[in-house]
Structure 1
Amino acid sequence: MKKVIFILIICCAIYSCVKNESKDVLDDLLVSYMAIMYNYGPSYTIDEIKTFAEQSSYDDDVLEYYHYFCGKIKLKDVKLHEKPQIYDQRIKDYIKQHLPMNNSNNYVFIDNFDDPPPVQILFKNTESENILSERLYSLLYRDWQNEGLFKSWYKSFYNDEVNIDQLKEYANLLAKSACSYSFTMRRLQNTSSTFYKDYVDLSEIPAELLLAIAYKESRFFPGSFRAEIYQDKIQAISMGLCHILVDADTLEIPDIGNQVVDMRTFELIGYYYLGNDYGKKNTFNEIDLLQIKGNFLVCAIQLGLIYQRLSEILKDL
C-alpha cells in the first residue's frame, strides 16, 4: 500500500493505556452523553443531549458494552445482534478493491486491516491490554458461533471460515490498538471554531470506550459501513470500526455524492489534526481510515474533543 508517512508532533509523553485510574471509571452519565454526542453531533445543548439520551437506545448500548469491557458485567449480559443489511454493493466493492495486502500477517483478513496510520505512533503494551484481549476474544467467538453481525460482515467479504487462532490474534490486535492512543494531538490549522481545540488529550479516552463505540457501530468488522442517504442519493458513508462519517465525494465512486467534498468528521479531523489539506486526502485517506489503528485514532480524537466540550458544558451548569 503506497503511503507517505507524515510525522506529527506528539505533544506530551506517552502514557499507559490505563495509567490514569480515572480513565477506567468514567461516570455512566458522562459515557452516555459522550455516546449521544458521538452519534448525533457535538454541537447540541445539554438539554438537547438529555432529550436524545431519553429517546435513544444508542447510549444505553454503548454503556452496556463499556461495562462489559470494564469487567462490570458478564458476556451473557451483552445482547447479540443479528444480520445486517449491506446498503450498497458499490461501496463494498470499492472497499474490497482498495484493501492492502502486504503479507504483514498470515491471515488475509488481518493483513487487510493491520496497516499503521500515516502518523508516527509509539505503541506501548499494558497489563490491561491482555485482559481486554480475553474479553474481546470471548465476544468475537460468541458472535461467530451464534451468527452475529461480525460473522455476517465477514462472510460478505471472505469465503473462508475464521478459526480460533485467528480470532485470538484479531482480538489481540484490537486490544493493542485501542490501548495505543494515550498522548496529546496538536491542531495543525487555524480555526474560529471553539470545538477544535489547540490540543486534544487522547489519554482522557479509555480503551474500553473506544471498543464500546466500535462494537456498537461495526461489531468489530473493520470493513463495515453504513450509507447515509439524502434525497435518494448517498451523500456520506460511515466507515470502519467506529463508523467515522466520510463525505461520499471523498470516495472515487461514480454516481454518489454531489460532486463537492463537504467537510464531515473524517475531513475535519484529517484537516485539523492529521495533515490533510482542506477537503483533500493527501496524507490520511479513506483506506487509512479502514485500518484498525487509523480508525481508532480518528475516533479517539473525536471523542477527546467531545470530552472537552462536554466538560465545558457541565462546568457551566
Structure 2
Amino acid sequence: MTTELSTIIDWIRYGASRFAGAGLTFGHSYDNALDEATHLVLHTLHLPHDLSPAYGSARLTAAEKKAVLKLIERRVKEHKPVAYLTGEAWFAGLKFKSDERALVPRSPIAEMILNGFSPWLDNVEVHRALDLCTGSGCIGIAMAAHNPGWHVDLVDVSDKALSLAKENIAFQNVEDRVRAVKSDLFARLKGEVYDLIVSNPPYVTEDEFAALPPEYDHEPALGLKAGHDGLDFALRILDEAPAHLSKGGMLIVEVGESERALSELLPKLPLNWIEFEVGQMGVFAIAREEIVAHAKAIKAVLKKR
C-alpha cells in the first residue's frame, strides 16, 4: 500500500518498481526505471535533479504523495515518456522544455558537446554553427551555451518544433546568438555558410517504426521516420552540406542503426564513426573536403532512390 511510503527514497523506489513491473520501455532521456522515477519524483517535489542523497529521508506531505502517485500511474497507464509528463528534459547538462511538439531531447552528441567536439574541431575555428533538424533545439542551444563565441542557427521544417525551440532559446537566455529558421533541410539557407553543421535527423526505417513500443506513439512521426533504410535525410544532407560548409568545416550526423546501410551504400566515403563512452552509436564526422571528393558517388546513390 502506498500509505506505507513516506520518504523521497521510498517514492523513488516505488516508482522504479512500478515502471519495471509494468514492462515500460526506456530510452527517452533515461535508459532505466530508477533514473526515470528519480526525475519524476524530484520534479514533482520542485527539487533539483542533483539533490544531495542526504535529503532522501525527507518525508512527503499528503498532497505531495498524491501528486507523485498521479504521475507514476500516468507513466504506467499512458506509456508517456517522463519528459512529457514533467515538461522538462536534461541534455548536455542543461534543462530544456519538452512536450509533444518535438522528440524528447536525447542524443550521444551531448557527449561531444561537453567534450568540445574534440578531436574533430581541434583544428577548426568555429564562428557559425548549424543544428539541422533541431526539434526542441537542444543540440544547437547546448552548443551555444557551452561555446559563448558561437552563433548558432536552428533549422526545422516543423512549425510546432520551432515554436518549442524558440521557447528553449529564451529559456536558456541565448537569444543574442541563436536563431530559429524554418526550412526543409537547406532549402531556405541560400548563401548561409557554417564552420560546423550538426544534425540528428529522422533515421528510423519503416519496419523499425512499425515495431516501436507505445512510448514512441507520443512523439511526432515526422521526427522519426526516414524511409525503407532510414537514410532519406542523411543522404540529402551529405549531398547538400558542402555548399554550406566553410573551408575545413565539419559535418556531424547521427544515423543510429542505419549506420550499416549507409556504409554499404557509400563504402568508399571516409566517414569517421565516433566512439562514445558506451561505444559506437551511429554518429559520423566528415570534413567538407572529403564530402566534395566523393560528391559524384553521393549523387549517384540519391538518383537511384
Q: TM-score, normalised by structure 1?
A: 0.27
Larger strand proportion, structure 1 or 2?
Answer: 2
Q: Which has the higher contact order (CA 8 A, sep 6+)?
A: 1
Larger helix proportion, structure 1 or 2?
Answer: 1
Q: TM-score, normalised by structure 2?
A: 0.28
Larger Rg: 2
